[in-house]
Chains A and B, each alone.
Chain A
């Protein structure tokens, strides 16, 4: 009978004052993290959009105007912008991970609040989760390295686009270069022919000069 009445006691009584204070802090943390991550998503979409469209414009402009420097600029700028995007994503990776943990805690707390009868094990698990969140940093990945190089979050989706644009820049630079060298060969041939014609004309004019001088001498 007493066990049953214990089970029916309010969640605040079961958790204790310290845990309730932790829950309050956790909810405040969750709101703060959500605001930060929303802002990050908004700005990263803008930054990513500018980067990718800028790169695409450079690649297309280089290909249509057949200028190698534009393609070289795209080739250099591509990796730089991809790295900047990655670095920006990396800055918020930890916050993003914490947000997931905080959201899980918040949902669990609401579920416990909603129930009239709670098992002591469930309350203990929730207390353990609250405690493990505590004040320490939360990085759920198993063994992250000090400077992880793997792509993070949505950046992983856009990395192939960056790579494709850089390859497009290289490809179009090669196309432009090959086209330029073919044109140069044709131009050199044309010049050679023109020079031959010129030299022939010069020889003819020399001959005509010689003839006219001979005629003058004869007369």
Chain B
């Protein structure tokens, strides 16, 4: 499966996630609790990023990753050091690959694997890491698949508004 196919497959799941958060925000009883519960249900978002990078890094940088573990991150970092020296100026593909390292830090440090599962950690993920990644994804797609880029851009816009 190519990275573009992964994006096309997972975009509806991101929209479903946004629907649930929106519905939780609009419901009357226990607004905050329900909304926070929905904001913590991010397994589909993580799977999206994981499957995308598994395909994208293999296609673009010939690096195989299976998740966001330290060995994966190290493999990618080693490859990116060479790519950064060779690529002048750095393009959207390289920037998107660099965000893999940020996601590794975020997911290992706080949200999925770390000790903390505080609301603050999730807020950081929803306000910074994930929308930034989606935005960069749209930037990369703009060059190679404009129709898909429009869909991703619409999701980014909605994501920032809803979450």
Contacts and interface: CB of A to CB of B under 8 A. Distances in A.
Contact of B105 (A124, A134, A142): A134
Q: How large is the interface on B (under 10, 10 to 19, 20 to 34, 35 or more residues)?
A: 20 to 34
A139 B108 contact: yes
B94 interface: no
B117 A138 contact: no
A61 to B, nearest CB: 38
B6 interface: no
A151 interface: no
A140 B101 CA distance: 14
Interface residues of A, number: 22
Given A136-B108, A137-B109, A144-B113, A131 B77 contact: yes
A71 to B, nearest CB: 36
Give the dominant DSSP class at B's interface: helix
A14 B53 CA distance: 30
Interface in A110-165: 124-125, 127-129, 131-132, 134-146
B67 interface: yes
A52 interface: no
B81 interface: yes
B47 interface: no
A124 B82 contact: yes
A208 to B, nearest CB: 86
Interface stretch (B17-25, B68-76, B139-147, B148-156): B68-76
A64 to B, nearest CB: 43
A38 B113 CA distance: 25
Given A134-B105, A146-B113, A146-B117, A139 B69 contact: yes
B11 interface: no
B82 A132 contact: no
B128 to A, nearest CB: 14
Interface of B: 66-67, 69-71, 73-74, 76-82, 85, 101, 104-105, 108-109, 112-115, 117
23 contacts: A124-B85, A127-B78, A127-B81, A128-B77, A128-B79, A129-B74, A129-B77, A132-B70, A132-B73, A132-B77, A132-B101, A134-B105, A136-B101, A137-B105, A137-B108, A137-B114, A138-B108, A140-B69, A140-B71, A142-B67, A143-B67, A143-B113, A144-B113
